[in-house]
């Protein structure tokens, strides 16, 4: 076609002219087309056709919207969503393609997509008093996308419980020290609470929990800890339901170290305390045990508290006004009910190693004020630590109740394990 010749209307001569040729040329010149779009002219539509847009463009057609509808629970903006219930995302007339739930730190919450792709449910527990963001996407049967987003906050529990634990974080203890946890509310779902608490040791050893009652859970191995063991208590009680409507608040680790091995045997027939440290006898001390009217408990006891000096009043242990000594030196607690191994400055020296006259405690010779480091009581106190073992033999009384102090060692391993909830 000779494009240099044209008729009076500007149409080229010498070829097959057609409207299609003009449109093809315009489509190949987008800048000119854009300029034409600024003009106001427009032709009439052809018979049965559609009027072109100004400048010759066809009108754009908006894509159909997806028919998939996504629903997120809890709803967007919720401020007291139940933290014990999962997040759910469902879609009608479509299939979920992605769901992401994150907390305020950016941590993602795990979940499970249903086999048919119509729903997603969180599988990891939510935390109380925490903000979450949900982003979900889906597509309908024609692959048209849809999305939805929500933000909500979980409620804080109105009723909570905590566990008071011993020993303390960072402490060094004796080989008999159990992990003992006392709860401030009765626990009815013991399995849930025990599953949220673990105790591990290095070097490893089997450790089992035992419930003494609804408020006390202790952990120990089958035998005394090996010296040098590192023990870690892992509390993951936050938002665990200990009872209906009562939730835990703690999430922390507590680590302690087992020091040297020291086990002392108080033979109350011979009235001698024999101290063995790391397998060697390191000291023997004459003692006074409980009288025939107030015999000392027998069995294995663990030192749970130590006082350089303390007051002992018989009224606090149900013995009326028999004694009230304001300055008992070098006192170390063996039972919750009031059994101590302590210094004694008021008894004659001749009684130590020869008679049992106490109200149930084990007494070593001492001086008032406890300021003489060379007395039996002072030396034994200086060599001791919380968690050390004192085994009482030949006391003439029954074995101490395992729950009376940190004295679970008086149970067989089978009986101890029977008290576990898991």
Catalytic residues: 342, 361
Tokens describing residue 376: 């039996």
Whole-number Å distance between alpha carbons of 125 and 87: 9
Q: Is residue 203 reached through a cis peptide bond, with omega within 30 degrees of 0 on the bond before it?
A: yes
Please give the full DSSP string across 335-378, using - where no structure is assigned.
-TTS-EEEEESSS-GGGTTT---BSS-EEEE--TTS--TTSHHH
In the chain, what are the helix, strand and coil shares in percent, each to the nearest 5? 10, 40, 50
Q: Euclidean distance between the first and final Cα of the chain, in Å?
A: 93
- CA–CA separation, 310 and 326 (whole Å): 7
Token pair in block for residue 133: 């963001």
Instruction: Please tell me the distance from the alpha carbon of residue 17 to that of residue 4, in angstroms, as a whole number.
Output: 14
Query: Could you tell me which of 275, 276, 197, 298 has the C-alpha nearest to residue 242?
Result: 197
How far lies 167's CA from each of 88, 164, 235, 300, 402, in Å? 42, 10, 14, 18, 18
Q: What is the rounded CA–CA span in Å between residue 416 and residue 405?
A: 15
Helix and strand numbers (H, E) in the chain are 5, 27
Two tokens, residue 29: 């010149």
Look at the chain and count its residues.
422
Other C-beta atoms lying within 10 Å of the C-beta of residue 308: 12
What residues have CB less than 8 Å from 223, skipping those under 6 apart? none
CA distances from residue 192 to 34, 200, 217, 225, 318 in whole angstroms, order as listed: 71, 18, 13, 27, 37
CA atoms of 137 and 98, how far apart (whole Å)? 5
DSSP classification of residue 125: P
* Tokens standing for residue 35: 């300029």
């Amino acid at each position: 076609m000779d494009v240099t010749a044209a008729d009076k209307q500007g149409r080229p001569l010498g070829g097959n002219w057609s409207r299609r040729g003009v449109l093809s040329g315009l489509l190949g010149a987008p800048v000119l087309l854009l300029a034409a779009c600024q003009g106001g002219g427009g032709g009439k539509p052809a018979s049965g056709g559609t009027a072109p847009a100004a400048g010759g463009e066809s009108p754009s057609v908006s894509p159909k919207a997806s028919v998939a509808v996504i629903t997120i629970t809890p709803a967007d903006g919720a401020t007291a969503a139940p933290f014990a219930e999962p997040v759910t995302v469902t879609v009608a007339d479509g299939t979920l393609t992605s769901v992401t739930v994150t907390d305020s730190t950016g941590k993602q919450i795990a979940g499970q997509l249903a086999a048919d792709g119509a729903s997603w449910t969180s599988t990891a527990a939510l935390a109380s008093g925490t903000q979450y963001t949900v982003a979900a996407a889906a597509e309908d049967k024609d692959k048209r996308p849809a999305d939805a987003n929500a933000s909500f906050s979980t409620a804080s529990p109105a009723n909570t419980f905590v566990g008071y634990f011993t020993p303390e974080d960072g402490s060094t203890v004796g080989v008999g020290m159990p992990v003992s946890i006392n709860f401030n509310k009765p626990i009815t779902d013991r399995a849930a609470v025990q599953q949220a608490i673990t105790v591990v040791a290095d070097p490893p050893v089997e450790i089992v929990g035992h419930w003494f009652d609804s408020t006390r859970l202790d952990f120990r191995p089958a035998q005394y800890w090996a010296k040098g063991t590192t023990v870690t208590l892992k509390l993951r009680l936050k938002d665990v339901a200990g009872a209906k409507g009562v939730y835990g608040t703690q999430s922390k680790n507590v680590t302690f170290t087992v020091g040297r091995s020291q086990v002392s045997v108080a033979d109350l027939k011979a009235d001698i305390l024999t101290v063995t440290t790391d397998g060697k006898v390191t000291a023997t001390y004459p003692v006074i045990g409980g009288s025939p009217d107030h015999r000392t408990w027998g069995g294995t006891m663990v030192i749970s508290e130590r006082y350089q000096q303390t007051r002992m009043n018989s009224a606090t242990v149900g013995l009326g006004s028999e004694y009230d000594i304001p300055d008992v030196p070098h006192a170390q607690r063996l039972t919750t009910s009031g059994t101590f191994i302590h210094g004694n400055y008021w008894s004659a020296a001749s009684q130590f190693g020869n008679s049992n006259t106490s109200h149930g405690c084990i007494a070593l010779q001492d001086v008032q004020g406890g300021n003489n480091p060379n007395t039996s009581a002072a030396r034994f106190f200086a060599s001791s630590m919380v968690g050390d073992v004192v085994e009482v033999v030949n006391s003439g009384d029954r074995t101490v109740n395992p729950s009376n102090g940190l004295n679970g060692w008086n149970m067989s391993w089978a009986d101890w394990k029977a008290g576990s909830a898991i």
